[in-house]
Amino acid sequence: MSKSIYSKEYRFVLTQLKNARIESGLTQKDVTRLIGKPQSYISKCESGERRLDVTELNRFAKIYKKSLLFFIK
- pTM of whole model > 0.85? yes
What integer pLDDT is reported at residue 4 of this predicted model?
63
What integer pLDDT is reported at residue 1 of this predicted model?
47
Candidates 68, 56, 55, 70; CA nearest to 19 is 70
Domains of the chain in start order, with CATH, are: 8-71 (1.10.260.40)
pLDDT, one tens digit per residue, over 6-64 is 899 999 999 999 999 999 999 999 999 999 999 999 999 999 999 999 999 999 999 99
More confident residue, 26 or 3: 26
What integer pLDDT is reported at residue 3 of this predicted model?
57
- Where do the H-state alpha helices sit in 1-73? 8-23, 28-35, 39-47, 54-64
What integer pLDDT is reported at residue 64 of this predicted model?
98
